[in-house]
Amino acid sequence: MRNGTWSAVAVGIVAVGLTKTAELIAPKTSLMPCILDDDPGQLEMLTSLVASMGYEAIPTADPEQALKLIKRGRCRLALVDVHMPAMDGYEFLSQALQSDPGVHILLMTGDYTLDSALEAIRRGAADFLPKPIDRAHLKKTLDDAAKLYDQRRRVRVLEEQLLRDLEFHGIVGKSPAMLEVFDFARKVARHYTNVLLAGATGSGKELVARAIHQLSPVGQQKLAVCNCSALVDTLLESQLFGHMRGAFTGATDTRPGLFEYANGGTVFLDEVGEMSLAMQAKVLRVIQNREIQRVGSPEVRQVNVRLIAATNRDLRAEVLSGRFREDLFYRLSSIQIRIPSLAERLEDIPLLVQFLLHKYNAAYGKHIAGLTRRAQTVLLQHSWPGNVRELENVISSACITTAGDFVDLGDLPEHLQHRGPRGLNGDEWRPLSLEEVRKMHIQRVLEMCQGNRLRAAQILGIGRTSLYRYLKRDGYDTNKTKPGNVEA
Ligand SMILES: Nc1ncnc2c1ncn2[C@@H]1O[C@H](COP(=O)(O)OP(=O)(O)OP(=O)(O)O)[C@@H](O)[C@H]1O
Ligand SMILES: [Mg+2]
């Protein structure tokens, strides 16, 4: 099962890595070989030989110029002499593959041996040709390369088309599990019912909530988003229900809450499982009686909002343990949609990578064409505990650090670079103490959350104060917070 999925994914992602090459291919004949040789006689002879095969070639004796042609995507194939004074063929091969891993480099040499041919191929050469060049062999190699590039161009066009077709309100996915989510969301959106979105952190719950709102009959009305875990009870109550001036210290003016703001539209209650029982009772009243009261006001106001709630907890288990009201659970979950984790839909990774590269190329003014094959492999072997958010962070920071046209292994975060293939039991087992395991686990979760301690505490299922206590014990400076932390 995994193997089947795996090969399908592997085939898909190769096309992502070929973005640049494929994009720049116009008609089939635009293979445009570059011929690199320091001997002017050879250069002239090879250029006319290649021309007689139907391919217009660019001859040069300068390796730097040839590298530029490859980097700019003008030449997708190069015929390169091994022995050159300025740069030998192997060095050229390595630099050329660095700027375009999809380029075909054919090395030519006067002293051919089987060993040197195998070495060249091991280093990524498309072929190793003995001089004098065998005409038929070269023609076949050029024709095969032209065919392959044409194929890749068509795959690329189809992938672009697929991305357009498979984007559902900014949500990308082609796995059966995600297509089912889109289909279900489309169906339930039309009906004015509450929806509960369940899924791991970063799996796309908020995106789905926004899509449901947009597709609903109240899509033109307001959508208010409230993160129930980010605020203490009193602030959460005031945010949802509003408050009167002087209702509590700091309430310097009278303000409507999100229910009033989004009246006639939708309120999205994110992390609803983190709400206290007292707040749950107040939300239940909104659903049952469509009534709210601003904090500090006796006046009862009518509101009519659709509720979409999201949780990364097992709410049914929370009900059983008494932490979540059963009546509210049933009211919220008349329709429940489970968003699958990224590990359950690895086949979405190529499309997501393509989508995210578009997004961050545009944001950072870059032209990154894709990922090298080894970087693709690493992404496909990771377990993605932080789901699409984690993938998005990886791609966005890679877009910043990548200097070339392709994201390579070194542009990925350290912990991805040094990981072996995903084993059944995760990392290699070592007999650690519980204390050490706890420390390591906290570190990893923090890393995954990019240092956001509030989110880390939620995932760890502990309070923020407990997390701080542990961090202090482990020698962290708890006064320092990483940029971007939202800690209410
Ligand atoms: N299928 C997807 N296609 C494109 N982008 C996605 C997809 N899923 C998630 N994202 C992106 O990943 C990030 C996290 O998504 P989102 O906030 O919707 O997740 P979440 O499930 O609400 O997370 P949390 O539980 O942490 O609140 C966002 O930047 C979002 O744009
Ligand atoms: Mg969310």
Identify the residue whose tokens are 């009534």: 291
Ligand 1 centre distance from Cα of residue 165 (Å) = 19
SS3 26: coil
User: Along the chain (488 residues), what's the average pLDDT of each consecutive run of 10 residues?
Assistant: 29 34 40 93 94 94 94 89 92 89 90 87 92 92 90 82 83 93 92 92 95 93 93 91 90 93 96 94 94 94 95 92 94 94 94 94 91 88 94 96 86 81 49 84 84 85 88 76 36
Q: What pLDDT sits at residue 482?
A: 43
Q: What pLDDT sits at residue 138?
A: 94
Mutation to probe ligand 1, out of 223, 389, 448 (largest number of atoms < 8 A from CB): 389
What residues contact 376, with CB distance under 8 A and at least 6 apart? 10, 13, 14, 16, 17, 350, 353
Q: Which atom of ligand 1 is nearest to the CA of 173?
A: 1
* In a domain? residue 169: no
* In a domain? residue 480: no
Q: b vs e for 236-254, b when ≥16 Cβ sit within 10 Å of the residue's Cβ?
A: bbbbbbbbbeebeeeeeee
Mutation to probe ligand 1, out of 180, 356, 392, 449 (largest number of atoms < 8 A from CB): 392
Q: Is the CB of 203 under 6 A from ligand 1?
A: yes
In whole angstroms, how far apart are CA 161 and each of 157, 353, 359? 6, 15, 16
Q: Which atom of ligand 1 is nearest to the CA of 208?
A: 18
Domain boundary among 339, 369, 399: 339
Q: What pLDDT sits at residue 65?
A: 95
Parallel, antiparallel or unpaired: strands 370-371 and 406-407: parallel
Identify the residue whose tokens are 């449901």: 212
* In a domain? residue 58: yes
Residues 188 and 328 in one domain: yes
Are 152 and 21 within 8 A, CB to CB?
Answer: yes
Q: Is the CB of 388 under 6 A from ligand 1?
A: yes
Residues 222 and 286 in one domain: yes
* In a domain? residue 407: no
- Which DSSP state fits 295? B
Are 169 and 52 within 8 A, CB to CB?
Answer: no
Distance CA 307, CA 259 (A): 10
Residues 123 and 183 in one domain: no
Domain count, the chain: 2
SS3 122: helix
Q: Is the CB of 201 under 6 A from ligand 1?
A: yes
Q: Is the CB of 340 under 6 A from ligand 1?
A: no
Ligand 1 centre distance from Cα of residue 452 (Å) = 16
Ligand 1 centre distance from Cα of residue 28 (Å) = 40
* In a domain? residue 259: yes
347 dihedral zone (left: phi>0; alpha: psi -120 to 50; beta): alpha
* In a domain? residue 180: yes
Mutation to probe ligand 1, out of 269, 388, 448 (largest number of atoms < 8 A from CB): 388
Residues 126 and 180 in one domain: no
What are the tokens at 67? 């590298």
Residues 41 and 93 in one domain: yes
CATH code: domain of residue 48:
3.40.50.2300
Q: What pLDDT sits at residue 10?
A: 31
In whole angstroms, how far apart are CA 264 and each of 75, 300, 422? 58, 17, 48
Q: Where are the beta strands (DSSP E) in 62-186?
A: 77-81, 104-109, 127-130, 167-168, 171-172
Q: Give me the residues paired with residue 78 across strands.
A: 34, 105
Q: Please count the CA atoms within 13 angstroms of the CA of 237 that sit on its side-chain side.
A: 21
Closest CA to 78 of 86, 88, 63, 87: 63
Range of the domain at 77: 31-133
Residues 88 and 181 in one domain: no
Torsion of CA 173, 175, 181, 186, to 10 degrees: 60
Task: Please give the span between the terminal C-alpha atoms of the chain, in angstroms, as a whole number.
Answer: 44
Residues 188 and 103 in one domain: no
Q: What pLDDT sits at residue 160?
A: 79
Distance CA 302, CA 446 (A): 42
CATH code: domain of residue 324:
3.40.50.300
Residues 125 and 252 in one domain: no
Q: What pLDDT sits at residue 23?
A: 33
Residue identifier of the C-alpha nearest atom 26 of ligand 1 = 201
Q: Which atom of ligand 1 is nearest to the CA of 391?
A: 12
C-alpha dihedral sign at 91, 95, 97, 98: positive
Residues 84 and 216 in one domain: no
Identify the residue whose tokens are 């021309």: 51
Q: Is the CB of 454 under 6 A from ligand 1?
A: no
Domain boundary among 339, 374, 398: 339
What residues contact 164, with CB distance under 8 A and at least 6 apart? none
Identify the residue whose tokens are 């009772």: 281
Q: Is the CB of 206 under 6 A from ligand 1?
A: yes
Residues 202 and 321 in one domain: yes
Q: What pLDDT sits at residue 262?
A: 96
Q: Is the CB of 199 under 6 A from ligand 1?
A: yes
Identify the residue whose tokens are 């202090």: 472
Residues 206 and 257 in one domain: yes
- Which DSSP state fits 344? G
* In a domain? residue 112: yes
* In a domain? residue 76: yes
Domain boundary among 305, 339, 373: 339
Q: What pLDDT sits at residue 429?
A: 61
Residues 193 and 305 in one domain: yes
Are 36 and 14 within 8 A, CB to CB?
Answer: no
